[in-house]
């Protein structure tokens, strides 16, 4: 009968699969620090009450730049084309 031989015991860092398992979380940690650096260095300035005019901003009820979009929406909903505006 032969006795089974055990492989030579090597330190853990000499096995390739250990680095494969450790490298994934390590890359994520470094990427999170890099993302934090990008977010912190590219921060926008704070908006304060002094940045707004007194009385607030005026909001138009129907801005003219939305007119073509509203006509297309109404045409899609009803199937009837809008009449051209009379001069």
Mean pLDDT by 10 residues, the chain (87 residues): 72 89 96 95 81 66 64 72 65
Residue 57: the pLDDT is 63
Residue 77: the pLDDT is 72
d(CA 65, CA 69): 8
Asked whether the beta carbons of 56 and 49 are under 8 A apart, the reply is no
Residue 32: the pLDDT is 97
Secondary structure element (H or E) that encloses residue 75, with its range: helix 67-78
Compute, in degrees rounded to 10, the torsion defined by CA atoms 24, 26, 28, 30: -150
User: Strand (E) positions, the chain?
Assistant: none
Residue 23: the pLDDT is 95
């Amino acid at each position: 009968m032969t006795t089974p031989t055990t492989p030579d015991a090597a330190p853990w860092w000499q096995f390739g699969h250990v680095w494969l398992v450790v490298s994934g979380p390590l890359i994520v940690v470094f990427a999170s620090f890099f993302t934090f650096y990008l977010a912190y260095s590219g921060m926008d300035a704070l908006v304060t009450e002094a940045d707004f005019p007194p009385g607030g901003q005026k909001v138009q009820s129907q801005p003219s730049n939305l007119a073509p979009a509203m006509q297309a929406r109404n045409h899609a909903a009803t199937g009837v084309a809008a009449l051209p505006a009379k001069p």
